[in-house]
């Protein structure tokens, strides 16, 4: 996008005082004595660090017939204990492809509590390439100690104005003051997308600047007065929002503001609606050489089809055809972790190079399945780590991955060829983000992303001897996402050392023998593991009594919900089902003194359940423990009940069998 304007440095005001002329809330290198002496942040005495101030300015610039923005940011952080030292590791990510953005004027200074300071050496600033598009500036603040104040600032220059930088008022540590000022010419109309609590200060002003408009653009070359919209947005005393288990990304919940360009009205009277409709976006994508044309034009995938065609059963079912193509792709191509909806290379080139992005793998699936006569369409998604998508606005930049939606005859299923161990119908866990945007027959629509389940079954047949040692056999069955993870571990280490390590973390003296695996290569079947084992130290001896905690290897021996309250919903990626069966022979000469009490708990709406049962038959005990979670999202007001449920699960799994010498 090119705008042929020249910026003339003359300004006059429509109001008495410009928001940009107001004094900034802090000056680099000037630290108040009370901040240097602070040892505890009174608003949050548990905080390991606090953002004392965060200040940003954004204004437009015109250079070389292009329009862009310049963004300045200044951050000041107080370190209150050693855990807060991690705040001194700074990473600034920017879009580096074709020098679209650049970061410069990086300065950092660390103040000790006595006021002495150390400046960051420019040689200690490192530029890292993240992928083909993104890079990051990284540095570590020097001479950190408890009580230090970090002061750093930098500037960003970008050639793009379609999306302005997102400003976050909130973090995982408290924020005392966060302020963002913008100055945008009236030619550009932005939609502001806000999230979180209301602003404490929200000031709007209109100033006037003179611009010299190039005759190339239709101007006269004379100075033209143009209104400039200024905003000043402030939040103060913003509490920390700590990350806990089962969340998409904290960026979905931090207080923030985003800016999306919606229209442009040029000085010559030309109006452009920048915001497309979803239909317009779908048409543009299907006509894109890096997206739709890759799987609709055979010139882009013909070599690939020629290589796989003989392996695809002509009269096979859609499932059989999909499995054949899936196996071929992962037998010939290595997939990398770069996330994008677009291709970097032609699909034929990916095949020749034997390397592809996840998106390229899924577009190959679409191209080859269509060639094989299977109905399949692309589904664009935003992964969990990328954040929730926004159906209200047709923003292509919110998507970072693409899946294949396949008609298997009796049902629709999603294929995600980002991992060789994912069965058909199982997107990667990071892809399970509620909804996706499907382009079916050229017509776009939002669809729900079904979340398949995970199921673990543990069966233990043990004898407990008089020394408190368990001897016997164990068998485990992993289905769904659990099997995906286990197969991934087994590819790295086929001997199953990760399972041995898991057991030995709980019982360091455990010995596992004769470990065997079943259905490892068959990703559509449950993965089964069998082993004989000897586990010393499982029972604690005290006089005539022996104490045994029978629920071993459960994933929920410890509750995942530790915070007393939570400021955002619980977002579980998929349903899960865990079942533990223990058959235990008592040691000779011992009788049961006490057994854990059986219990059954059902959450409201049958969103989850927990069954814990103990029974005795002579010298044999049996424990059956079943935990199911069927519902995936729990709102903030439901957190207390969910936390209580898992606390009771943890409590029951920790209960002991008490034996006594008879």
Task: Summarize pLDDT for 513-558 with one digit per residue, the tens.
Answer: 889 999 999 999 999 999 999 988 888 999 999 999 988 888 888 9
Strand 175-185 and strand 223-238: the pairing is: antiparallel
- Which two tokens mark 616? 């005795």
Q: How confident is the model over 143-154, as a mean pLDDT?
A: 98
With pLDDT > 70 as the criterion, what percentage of the chain qualifies? Answer: 94
What band does 88 get if pLDDT is binned at 50, 70 and 90? very high
pLDDT score, position 25: 94
CB 483 within 8 A of CB 428: no
Residue 78, burial from CB neighbour count under 10 angstroms (0-12, 13-18, 19+) = buried
User: Is residue 591 within 8 Å of residue 618, measured between CB atoms?
Assistant: no
* Burial of 277 from C-beta contacts in 10 A (0-12 / 13-18 / 19+): exposed
Answer whether residue 5 shows pLDDT above 70. no
In whole angstroms, give the CA distance from residue 577 to residue 565. Answer: 26
513: closest CA among 471, 461, 549? 471
Q: Which pLDDT tens digit goes with each residue over 429-470?
A: 999 999 999 999 878 999 999 999 999 999 999 999 999 999
pTM for the predicted model, two decimal places: 0.87
| Site of tokens 């010498």 | 661
The better pLDDT of the pair 19, 501 is held by: 501
Q: What is the pLDDT of residue 221?
A: 56
List strand residue ranges (DSSP E) for 421-483, in order.
Answer: 435-440, 443-448, 454-464, 470-480
pLDDT confidence of residue 442: 74
* Cα dihedral across residues 352, 355, 360, 362: positive or negative: positive
**Mean pLDDT along residues 164-186:** 96
- Residue 171: which pLDDT band, with cuts at 50, 70 and 90? very high
Q: What is the pLDDT of residue 217?
A: 41
Among 15-19, 423-427, 631-635, the range scoring the smallest mean pLDDT is: 15-19
- In terms of C-beta density within 10 A (0-12 exposed, 13-18 middle, 19 or more buried), how is residue 271 classed? exposed
Residues 88-116, mean pLDDT to the nearest whole number = 95
What stretches of 263-357 show up as alpha helix (H) in DSSP? Answer: 278-286, 292-296, 302-308, 318-332, 347-353
* Per-residue confidence band for 11, with pLDDT thresholds at 50, 70 and 90: very low
Q: Is 98 left (phi over 0), alpha (psi -120 to 50) or beta?
A: left
- Residue-wise pLDDT tens digits, 202-241: 999 998 877 655 554 444 556 667 788 999 999 999 999 9
Which pLDDT score is estimated for 268? 66
pLDDT in tens, 295-321: 999 999 999 999 999 999 999 999 999
Report CA dihedral (547, 553, 558, 560) to the nearest 10 degrees: -170
What are the angstrom distances between the C-alpha of 633 and each of 151, 568, 604?
Answer: 39, 11, 13
Query: CB within 8 A of 509, min separation 6: which ones?
Result: 535, 536, 537
Predicted confidence at residue 211, as pLDDT, reads 60
d(C-alpha 384, C-alpha 399), whole Å: 11
Average pLDDT, the chain: 91
For residues 578-603, average pLDDT: 95
Binning pLDDT at 50, 70 and 90, where does residue 274 land?
confident
* Residue range 53-76, pLDDT digits in tens: 999 999 988 765 678 899 999 999
Predicted pLDDT of residue 41:
97
- With vertex at residue 453, the alpha carbon angle to CA 245 and CA 333, rounded to the nearest 5 degrees, is 95
End-to-end CA gap in the chain: 87
* Per-residue model confidence (pLDDT) at position 555: 86
* Range scoring the smallest mean pLDDT among 201-215, 235-249, 289-303, 349-363: 201-215
């Amino acid at each position: 996008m090119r705008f042929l304007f020249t910026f003339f440095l003359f300004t006059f005001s429509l109001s008495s005082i410009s928001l940009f002329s107001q004094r900034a809330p802090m000056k680099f290198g000037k630290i108040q004595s009370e901040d240097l002496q602070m040892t505890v942040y009174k608003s949050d005495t548990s905080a390991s660090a606090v953002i004392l101030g965060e200040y940003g300015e954004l204004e437009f610039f015109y250079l070389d017939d292009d329009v862009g923005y310049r963004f300045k940011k200044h951050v000041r952080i107080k370190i209150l204990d050693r855990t807060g030292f991690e705040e001194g590791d700074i990473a600034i990510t920017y879009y580096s492809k074709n020098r679209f953005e650049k970061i410069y004027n990086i300065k950092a200074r660390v103040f000790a509590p006595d006021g002495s300071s150390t400046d960051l050496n420019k040689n200690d600033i490192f530029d890292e390439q993240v992928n083909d598009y993104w890079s990051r500036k990284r540095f570590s603040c020097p001479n950190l100690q408890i009580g230090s104040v970090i002061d750093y600032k930098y500037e960003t220059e970008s050639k793009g104005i379609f999306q302005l930088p997102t400003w976050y008022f909130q973090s995982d540590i408290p924020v005392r003051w966060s302020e963002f000022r913008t100055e945008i010419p009236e030619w550009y109309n932005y939609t502001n997308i806000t999230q979180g609590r209301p602003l404490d200060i929200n000031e709007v002003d209109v100033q006037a600047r003179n611009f010299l408009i190039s005759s190339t653009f239709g101007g006269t070359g004379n100075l033209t007065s143009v209104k400039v919209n200024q905003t000043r947005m402030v939040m103060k005393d913003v509490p920390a929002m700590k990350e806990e288990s089962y969340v998409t990304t904290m960026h979905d919940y931090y207080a923030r503001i985003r800016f999306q360009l919606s229209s442009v009205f040029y000085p010559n009277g030309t109006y452009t609606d920048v915001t497309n409709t979803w239909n317009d976006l779908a048409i543009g994508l299907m006509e894109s050489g890096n997206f739709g044309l890759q799987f609709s034009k055979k010139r882009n995938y013909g070599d690939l089809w020629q290589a796989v065609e003989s392996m695809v059963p002509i009269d096979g079912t859609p499932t059989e055809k999909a499995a054949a193509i899936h196996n071929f792709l992962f037998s010939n191509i290595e997939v990398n972790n770069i996330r994008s909806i677009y291709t970097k290379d032609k699909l034929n080139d990916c095949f020749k190079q034997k390397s592809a992005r996840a998106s390229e793998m899924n577009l190959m699936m679409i191209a080859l399945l269509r060639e094989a006569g299977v109905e399949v369409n692309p589904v664009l998604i935003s992964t969990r780590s990328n954040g929730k998508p926004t159906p209200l606005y047709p923003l292509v930049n919110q998507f970072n991955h693409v899946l294949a939606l396949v008609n298997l005859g009796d049902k629709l299923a999603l294929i995600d060829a980002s991992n060789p161990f994912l069965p058909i119908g199982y997107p990667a866990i990071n892809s399970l983000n509620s909804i996706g945007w499907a382009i079916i027959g050229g017509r776009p629509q939002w669809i729900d992303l079904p979340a398949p389940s995970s199921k673990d079954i543990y069966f233990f047949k043990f004898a407990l001897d008089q020394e408190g040692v368990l001897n016997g056999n164990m068998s485990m069955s992993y289905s769904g996402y659990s099997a995906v993870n286990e197969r991934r571990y087994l590819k790295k280490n086929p001997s199953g050392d990760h399972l041995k390590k898991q057991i030995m973390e709980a019982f360091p003296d455990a010995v596992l023998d004769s470990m065997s695996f079943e259905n490892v290569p068959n990703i559509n079947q449950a993965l089964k593991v069998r082993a004989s084992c000897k586990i010393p130290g499982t029972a604690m001896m005290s006089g005539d009594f022996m104490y045994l905690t029978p629920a071993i290897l459960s994933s929920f021996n410890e509750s995942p919900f530790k915070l007393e309250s939570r400021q955002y919903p619980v977002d579980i990626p998929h349903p899960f089902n865990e079942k533990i069966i223990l058959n235990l022979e008592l040691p000779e000469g011992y009788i049961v003194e006490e057994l854990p009490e059986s219990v059954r708990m059902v959450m409201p709406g049958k969103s989850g359940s927990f069954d814990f049962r103990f029974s005795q038959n002579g010298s044999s005990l049996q424990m059956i423990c079943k935990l199911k979670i069927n519902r995936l999202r729990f709102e903030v007001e439901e957190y207390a009940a969910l936390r209580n449920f898992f606390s009771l699960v943890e409590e029951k799994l920790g209960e002991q069998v008490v034996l006594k010498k008879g």
